[in-house]
Structure 1
């Protein structure tokens, strides 16, 4: 619970924008665990109590930080309009959100969690939904299609955006060497017991995450085309 605000105490001169920007910076640097009111107050100057002038608790702060990041996402998709087909626009919106979450994995857990605070999240959801509506699906199919796109983008981006192993993070092992080590472990498996692993191991070895994401997205978009009765 937030501490009671003393009536005779002067507020430290921050602003809600400064508080949220500092929260985003802390999240980007060290993740959610690093975002405490004490750390935020130390960065901004002033006491912990001064933060409570602007947000009631950490949940609200996380929701506002998420909404701040989504401002940039909305800016990037402003060029999406009905001069392009809906499938192309869905792809553009999906790739833009993927890039934002891959850069900031913490975003995945809070996206659309509280649309009362996250006005930008609500606008993003609406914008994607409007593109899907152009496919003339039923309300249920439209809802499921939007949910499938968001679920794929958020899930893959959060997974690929995780911190790499310590030896890759500290630079002692190049990322491609680490990936090859895993691939070699798979190659050593008995092909009778692990036929799938042997079948795809050369594709896994040296693959690019963005290519993996885009390939999966195209499979999903092909399914949406089929559902809408569109030709490729």
Structure 2
């Protein structure tokens, strides 16, 4: 297996003249894979499409990965590497505040990439940075007076909440919005009108919060939920 930045050899080079070297490296393969995923989703990332985008044949991609599944895991990890780098120096007097900062950084990376939620932390063997992010959050709980069970549950709850909510909020936009038939705001207004039309006797809670729904933003709602979870951890730790 080549080193991370070693350009690949051209398997079609003429015998006896040595193999010529292609211009792309593993870094460029993963960067273009992420770009394809951002543009077209998981369905748009194929070995052939990626090779064509990089100006080579499929063998140039198989030099680095065994197949599409491994490519998806490695592409996800390359994004998570950036998240990990951004939180490496997180360090505050309050470990709860540090957990919050790490969680928000992870959420922001996933919510804008509908494909990433399904692949983050899927295979920690192929995704070392997902494991490092889990470790980074867990290390903050070591600074709290919790038991090992409480720390495990707290860390898992935070990671599960972040990835689950980000994946849910990061779903592909409805077809009407993607096609341009409706703007995102118009789609939300239509959904709000549908909620208002529900029978108030049957759906009292929906009618109670429908004005909040009409004005809410996903990121603010995520942070409110995260703060509720962190408040529970703080209460359990007695700090």
TM-score of the pair, normalised by structure 1: 0.91
**C-alpha distance in 1, partners of 2:182/2:119?**
32
Number of equivalent positions: 225
Give the unaligned 5+ runs of structure 2: 1-10
Rounded to whole Å, the distance in 2 between the matches of 1:114 and 1:65 is 12
TM norm structure 2: 0.88
Question: 2:75 aligned with 1:65, yes or no?
Answer: yes
Q: Secondary structure at the match of 1:130?
A: helix
- Corresponding residue of 2:48: 38
What's the CA shift for 1:50? Answer: 2.1
Q: Report the counterpart of residue 152 of structure 1 in structure 2.
A: 161
- Residue among 225, 229, 233 paired with 1:220: 229
Return the offset for 1:209. Answer: 0.8
1:102, 1:227 → 2: CA distance?
29
Question: In structure 1, what is the equivalent of residue 4 of structure 2?
Answer: none
Contact 2:121 2:130 in 1 (8 A): yes
Using the alignment, how far apart are the partners of 1:16 and 1:205 within structure 2?
A: 45
Question: What is the aligned counterpart of 1:96 among 93, 99, 105?
Answer: 105
3-state DSSP of counterpart to 2:215: coil
Deviations 1:48-89 (A, max 9, x none): 1221111111111111111111121012212311x3301100
Structure 1 gap ranges (5+): none
The alignment partner of 1:79 has SS state of coil
Pairing 1:1-232 to 2, within 5 Å after superposition: 10=19, 13=22, 14-81=24-91, 83-230=92-239
Change (3 A) 1:11 1:50: farther
Answer with 170-179 or 210-219: which moved more.
Answer: 170-179
